[in-house]
Every structure is written in C-alpha cells, then in structure tokens.
Amino acid sequence: MKRVLSGIQPTGEIHIGNWLGAIVNYVELGRKLGREALYCIVDYHAMTNPLAYEKELLAQRTFEAALVNIAAGLDPEKVTLFVQSHVPEHTELSWVFTNITPVGDLQRMTQYKDKAAKLESVGAGLLMYPVLQAADILIYKADTVPVGEDQIQHLELSREIARRFNTLFGETFPEPTAYLNPDAPRVPGIDGKAKMSKSTGNTIGLLEDPQSVWEKIRLLPDDPARIRLADPGDPERSVVFKFLPYFAPKEMVEVLKEEHRRAGIGTLAIKQILFDQYMKATRPIRERAEWLRQNPEYVLDGLEDGARRARQIAQATMQEVREKIGLLRLE
Ligand code: AQP
C-alpha cells in the first residue's frame, strides 16, 4: 500500500514556516492522493541538537506539536498522528541503516555541517539524523514525503539508503519522493534571509501571542532605500513583501506592491495589513487550539491510537527486515 509520511521536531514553537512548508500539505495530501497518511512528532530527532534539546521541555513540546497539528486541521481519526519514541521500531531500523550508510555521505549533509559548526562537541546523533529520518519514512514504506525545501538533501539520502538496502537484501523499500508546497517551499526568517527555523529563533509562531507577532512584523525590514514615506520603494527588496503573499490574496498583494513602488502607502500601513491577514488566516487554528487545551485527552487519545496503528505497520516491516538481514529467530 502506498503511504504518505512526514515528521516534525518538538524543538520549540511551531512556526509559519512549518505550517506553510509542511503542515498545510499534511492536511489534504493523503486524501488527495488516496493514500494512508502518517505524521510523526520526531522526539528522538529533537535530542540531536544540544542547542535545541531541553529535557524538562521535551514532553510538553511533543504534546504541543501534536496539538498544533490537530488545530491546523489534521484529523487524528483520518490520519495516523503519533510520537516517534512510541514506535521503537524506528530506532531499530535506523541501526540497520547505519550499517549501510557511508560516514562520508552523512558528513556532506548541509544541515549537519551548519549545525556542527555551532557546537563545541558534536554528538554522533547529529551525524546520524538523516539515517533515523530514512527509518521514519521507510519503516512505513512511504513513497511521498511532504516537506520543506530544507529536507530535500536528506530525502535524497533516504532514497539512496532504500536503494542500497534493496540491492544488498532484496527488493523491500520504495524510493520516497518529496512533496513541496510550491507557494512556500522555504519560508524565510524575520530577517528575510536564513530559513525560518525553531532552533534559530527567527520565527513567527503559528499560535504566538498577537502582541508579540505585531512587534515582530513592525520590525520587519523594508526596502532600505525607502527612508521617508514619500520615497518610492522596491517591493522585491522588502521583507514585508516576502511574507504578504503567504496570507493576503494575490490581487491585494499586487495593489500594495504598486502603491509601495509609487510611495502611495506607508510601510507601517502595509505591516498592519500583513498583521491583519496573518490573524485572519490563523484565527480558526487558534480557536481549535484553545478547545484542545481544554480537552487534552483528545490529543493524548489520538496519539495513543496513532501509535497503535503505526506500530502494526512498523512491526511487520521490521519482521521482514530481520529475516532479510539474517538474524537468528527463535520461533
Ligand atoms: N522555513 C521553512 N519553510 C518551509 N518549510 C519548513 N520546514 C521547516 N522550516 C521551514 C518544514 O517543516 C517540517 C518540520 O521541520 P522541523 O521540525 O525540522 O522544523 P524546523 O523549524 O526547521 O526545526 P528546527 O528544530 O529548527 O530544525 P532545524 O534546525 O533542522 O531547522 C519539515 O518538513 C520542514 O521541511
């Protein structure tokens, strides 16, 4: 059976990059492609970066990530939403994959290099991150993975791992392909440059306090050449216009670009429109999140049920893998 799978790390507040880059696709993709869909809160991945991992916060962040996904539209009765550590077969399969993955391939991963460069001591888990990710996907034999552009390189490695396993042990895994949101493959951070990312702290949260969101939007850099209200601007050089199309209708964006070019509207007024549109888009998610906070058992029951369903598939795959790699079996 063809399946969709994706994962999200409980490393901090879910942001609009996660939402637009990945979660919006989670909601519809399984139904659209007629495939079973599984979504995973990857808590073991959250341990790989010591700058983002905090023991005291991990459980709460995991719950919160599940809550936000449900609030954003994932229906735990229609898709399988679960926590990675509740299905131990992921880590078991990742060990098998570790043995068929060249260290050099892992050292070439851009995310590994970027993160390792910020650390005094690099744990082996950070290097193995894409191997565990390959196991997350392949344990369900998923062939479609809705992700942001930042995950393309890791996904290519998952394909290579699947190929290598199939060559060594016989046809077992499909080669999974990425499914990007063409409108938001890479949402920038609030500086307009680096990718928006929980661990970088350059985010606008999906459920962030409105006052704090406004403060961030208020400080978004405009075209640096536009100093006074009367100065004409170039919307291509304005970070405000990088965010506006995510929330405002196309026609509205075009009108505002034109106004910006001919200095017909002040930057603060455009920022106010961006804020209003962001609030409009996120309001239903905020309302559902509020309800879920009052009814946490809905989230927890969904996760329990999800882990049970995921485990059935994962156990069957592991059984097949154990046989193929030649382990001694007792029954
Ligand atoms: N800025 C983004 N634009 C589009 N998609 C994005 N994703 C993440 N950031 C963007 C996609 O969201 C899914 C979950 O990814 P994640 O949990 O790794 O998100 P993160 O915010 O990137 O988390 P971290 O902890 O800060 O990780 P690093 O440090 O690795 O960036 C994925 O599908 C991702 O592509």
Q: Over the stretch 115-143, which tens digit does the pLDDT of each residue have?
A: 999 999 999 999 999 999 999 999 999 99
Is residue 105 in some structural domain?
A: yes
The answer on 285 and 305 residing in a single domain is: no
Percent of the chain at pLDDT > 70 equals: 100
Is residue 28 in some structural domain?
A: yes
Ligand 1 atom closest to Cα of 198?
26
The answer on 148 and 19 residing in a single domain is: yes
Percent of the chain at pLDDT > 90 equals: 88
Question: What is the CATH number for 221?
Answer: 1.10.240.10
Question: What is the CATH number for 181?
Answer: 3.40.50.620
Ligand 1 atom closest to Cα of 146?
33
Helix, strand, coil shares of the chain as percentages rounded to 5? 60, 10, 35
Q: Which residues contact 243 (CB under 8 A, 6 or more apart)?
A: 204, 217, 220, 274, 278
Is 142 in contact with 136 (CB distance < 8 Å)?
Answer: no
The answer on 251 and 104 residing in a single domain is: no
Whole-number pLDDT of residue 113: 97
Q: Which residues contact 241 (CB under 8 A, 6 or more apart)?
A: 235, 253, 256, 257, 260, 270
Mean pLDDT of 268-292: 97
Q: Which of 206-210, 229-233, 239-243, 285-289 has the least mean pLDDT?
A: 229-233
* Residue list, annotated binding site: 9-11, 17-18, 136, 148-150, 187, 195-199
Question: What's the total number of domains in the chain?
Answer: 2
Whole-number pLDDT of residue 301: 98
Is residue 247 in some structural domain?
A: yes
Phi first, then psi: what are they for 149, rounded to 5°? -55, -30
Is 140 in contact with 170 (CB distance < 8 Å)?
Answer: no
Q: Which of 4, 6, 9, 144 to mutate to test the pocket of ligand 1 (most atoms within 8 A of CB)?
A: 9
The answer on 93 and 69 residing in a single domain is: yes
Specify the residue for token string 């029951």: 301
The answer on 8 and 76 residing in a single domain is: yes
What is the tens place of the pLDDT at every residue in 103-119?
999 999 999 999 999 99
Q: How many CB atoms lie within 10 A of CB 308?
A: 13
Confidence band (pLDDT; 50, 70, 90) for 75? very high
Asked if this assembly's ipTM is beyond 0.90, the reply is: yes
Tokens of 49: 């970066």
The answer on 161 and 273 residing in a single domain is: no
The answer on 283 and 219 residing in a single domain is: yes
Whole-number pLDDT of residue 209: 97
Tokens of 231: 């100065």
Number of H helices, E strands in the chain: 13, 5
User: Does residue 199 carry a pLDDT above 90?
Assistant: no
The answer on 235 and 170 residing in a single domain is: no
* Residue list, annotated binding site for ATP: 9-11, 17-18, 148-150, 187, 195-199
Concatenating the DSSP letter of every residue in 217-263 gives HHT----TT--STTS---GGG-HHHHHHHHHS-HHHHHHHHHHHHTT
Nearest CA to ligand 1 atom 34: 148
Is 187 in contact with 21 (CB distance < 8 Å)?
Answer: yes
Whole-number pLDDT of residue 5: 97
Of 115, 141, 257, 271, the catalytic one is: 115
Q: How far is CA 304 from the centre of its chain?
A: 21
Is residue 9 in some structural domain?
A: yes
The answer on 300 and 275 residing in a single domain is: no
The answer on 172 and 123 residing in a single domain is: yes
Is residue 92 in some structural domain?
A: yes
Alpha-carbon dihedral of residues 37, 43, 47, 49, nearest 10 degrees?
50
Mean pLDDT of 195-212: 94
Q: How far is CA 116 from the centre of its chain?
A: 20
* C-alpha dist (Å) from residue 297 to 63, 65, 280, 300, 303: 11, 15, 28, 5, 10
Is residue 331 in some structural domain?
A: no
Q: Which structural domain range is residue 228 located in?
A: 207-289
The answer on 308 and 244 residing in a single domain is: no
Q: How far is CA 175 from the centre of its chain?
A: 20
Is residue 197 in some structural domain?
A: no
Is residue 330 in some structural domain?
A: no
Averaged pLDDT of the chain? 95
Tokens of 121: 């001591």
Task: For residues 16 and 250, give the distance between their C-alpha atoms in angstroms, rounded to a whole number.
Answer: 19
The answer on 305 and 263 residing in a single domain is: no
Is 3 in contact with 35 (CB distance < 8 Å)?
Answer: yes
